[in-house]
Amino acid sequence: MLEQQDTYILAIETSCDETAAAVVKNGTEVLSNIISSQINLHKKYGGVVPEIASRKHIENINPVIQEAMEQAGLSFEQIDAIAVTYGPGLVGALLVGLSAAKGLAFALEKPLIGVHHIEGHISANYIANPSFHPPFICLVVSGGHSHLVHVRDYGEYEILGQTRDDAAGEAFDKVARALGLSYPGGPQIDRLAQEGDPESIHFPRAYLEEDSYDFSFSGLKSAVLNYLNQAKMKQEEIHIPNIAASFQEAVTEVLVDKAIKAAKEKNISKIAIAGGVAANQGLRKKMEHRCKQEGFALQYPPLILCTDNAAMIGSAAYYDYKKGIHHGWDLNAVPNLKLGQKIDVSK
Ligand code: KG4
Ligand code: ZN
C-alpha cells in the first residue's frame, strides 16, 4: 500500500555523457538510480564529443527510464511529477532528456519540474543524510563547474565565488591527459596521488584577491605542463605519482581554504561538498581534517551520487514540488543556465 502523503518523482539527467533516470521518494529515498555511462565511447577522443553524446542519449533514454521504473517497482500512474535537468550542459544532450520528460509528463498529465544541474549536485547531500538541511556552505566541483555557494534554504542560493577559467575537474582531466592518462583523468590522478608525495613539487596556489571566493586553475595547469616539458628537456626522470599528488594538493588546498573561510565569514556551521571532484579522496580527507580542526560539520555524498546521476535531480525537484513550482511545456534547454535563475513557472 502506498501512503497518500508520499511523493514519488521520476527524474531524468542527460546534461553531459551519462544517460540517467531515477525514482526518488520524498526527496531523500532512492528507489532506483540507473546510470548508463558513455565514458568508453568518448575515451578515445580524450573528452566528451557533443554529437556522439546526443546520439547515444537518444538510444539509451527509453531503456534507462524503463529500468528505473522497473527497479522502483512503480507504475507511471504512481509517479507524482517528472523532473529533468534543463541546464547547464551540452544543448543537444540536454534536449534529449528534456524532450523525454516533456513527453512523459504531457502524456501522463503530471507536473514537469526543470532542475538546475548544480542544484542537483548540491541536493545529493540530502539523500546522503536526510537530516542535513540548509543553511550550509557548499563547494560544488565538477568537470564543468567550480562554485562556492551559500545555500540559504531549499532553492535559495547565493553564489559566493566561481572559477574564472578552468573548472576543478577540467584541470584534473587536462593534467591527466598531459601525464598520458585516459579520460576522465580525475579518478586516475586520485589513485596515483595516493602513492606519491604531495610535498615533492611546489605547484602554485591561486588565491586571487584577498577577499575573493573565486577560483582559477589554468595557471596551475600550465605550471604542471611547464614542469613536464622542462623535465623532458633536461631528460630528468618523471615521477607521475609525485606530480599527481603535488597537483592534487595544490587544487584541494585552495578549495578547502576558501570553503572554510566562507563558512567562518558567513557564520555557518555546516559545509558540504558536491560534484564529480567531491569523489576525490584527497579533497575528502583534507576537508574532513580542516572541518574537525575548525569545528564545522561536514557532509558529502557517496561516490555514486558525486558524479552525474538522476537521483540528485529527483531530490532537488522534490523541494520545488512541495512549493508548487513546476514548468510549462515551453521549457527549453539552457546550456549556460545560471544557478538561482529560476525561470518563472507555476503556470
Ligand atoms: O559531476 P560530474 O560527473 O560531471 C559534471 O557535471 O561535470 O564530474 C565529472 C568530473 C570529471 O572532470 C572527473 O575527472 C572528475 O569529476 N572526477 C574526479 C574524481 N572522480 C571524478 N576528480 C578528482 N578525483 C576523483 N576521484
Ligand atoms: Zn555534474
Lowest mean pLDDT among 14-28, 43-57, 116-130, 317-331: 43-57
Mean pLDDT of all residues in 299-310: 98
pLDDT tens digits, one per residue of 45-67 = 888 899 999 999 999 999 999 99
Find how far residue 236's CA is from the centre of its chain.
37
Asked whether residue 256 is domain-assigned, the answer is yes
- Confirm whether 61 is domain-assigned: yes
Share of the chain above pLDDT 90, in %: 91
Domain match, 88 and 170 both: no
Average pLDDT of the residues in 302-317: 98
Residues 276, 140 share a domain: yes
Nearest Cα residue to 214 out of 176, 282, 168: 168
Domain for residue 19, yes or no? Answer: yes
What spacing in Å lies between the alpha carbon of 234 and ligand 1's midpoint?
33
**Claim to verify: residue 50 and residue 146 sit in the same structural domain:** no
Residue 116 lies in a domain: yes
> What average pLDDT is seen over the chain?
95
* pLDDT of the residue at 4: 58
Q: Which residues line ligand 1 (CB under 6 A)?
A: 16, 142-144, 169, 172-173, 184-187, 190, 275-277, 279-280, 307-308
Same domain, 56 and 105: yes
CB atoms within 5 A of ion ligand 2 belong to 142, 308
User: What is residue 344's predicted lDDT score, i.e. its pLDDT?
Assistant: 47
Is 156 within a domain?
yes
Pair 182, 262 in one domain:
yes
Residue 177 lies in a domain: yes
pLDDT given at position 41: 87
Q: Do 79 and 142 reside in the same domain of the chain?
A: no
Whether residue 256 is found in the same domain as residue 202: yes
- Res 342 pLDDT > 80: no
Buried b (16+ CB within 10 A) or exposed e, 206-220: beeeeeebbbbbeeb
- pLDDT tens digits, residue range 171-224? 999 999 999 999 899 999 999 999 999 999 999 999 999 899 999 999 999 999
The total of structural domains in the chain comes to 2
Percent of the chain topping pLDDT 70: 97
How many Å lie between the centroid of ligand 2 and the Cα of residue 88? Answer: 9
- pTM of the model as a whole: 0.95
Q: Is the domain of 112 the same as that of 184?
A: no
Residues 83 and 149 in one domain: no
Range scoring the smallest mean pLDDT among 20-29, 64-73, 205-214:
205-214
Predicted local confidence at residue 1, as pLDDT: 53
Strand order, beta sheet including 146-153: 156-162, 146-153, 136-141, 270-274, 297-299
CATH code of 226's domain: 3.30.420.40
Torsion of CA 298, 301, 306, 309, to 10 degrees: -150
C-alpha cell at 285: 580527507
DSSP state, residue 208: -
Q: Which domain range does residue 63 map to?
A: 8-123+306-322
Note whether 200 and 262 are same-domain residues.
yes
289 and 145 in one domain?
yes
Query: Which atom of ligand 1 is nearest to 308's Cα?
Result: 3
DSSP class of residue 184 equals: S
φ, ψ dihedrals at 169, nearest 5°: -65, -35
Residue 330, in any domain of the structure: no
Instruction: Give pLDDT tens digits for 265-300.
Output: 999 999 999 999 999 999 999 999 999 999 999 999
Residue 111 lies in a domain: yes
What is the number of the ligand 1 atom nearest to the C-alpha of 248? Answer: 23
54 shares a domain with 111: yes
Q: What was the pLDDT predicted at 341?
A: 58
User: What is the band of 43 on the pLDDT scale with cuts at 50, 70, 90?
Assistant: confident
Query: What is residue 143's predicted lDDT score, i.e. its pLDDT?
Result: 93
The pLDDT of 63-87, averaged and rounded, is 98
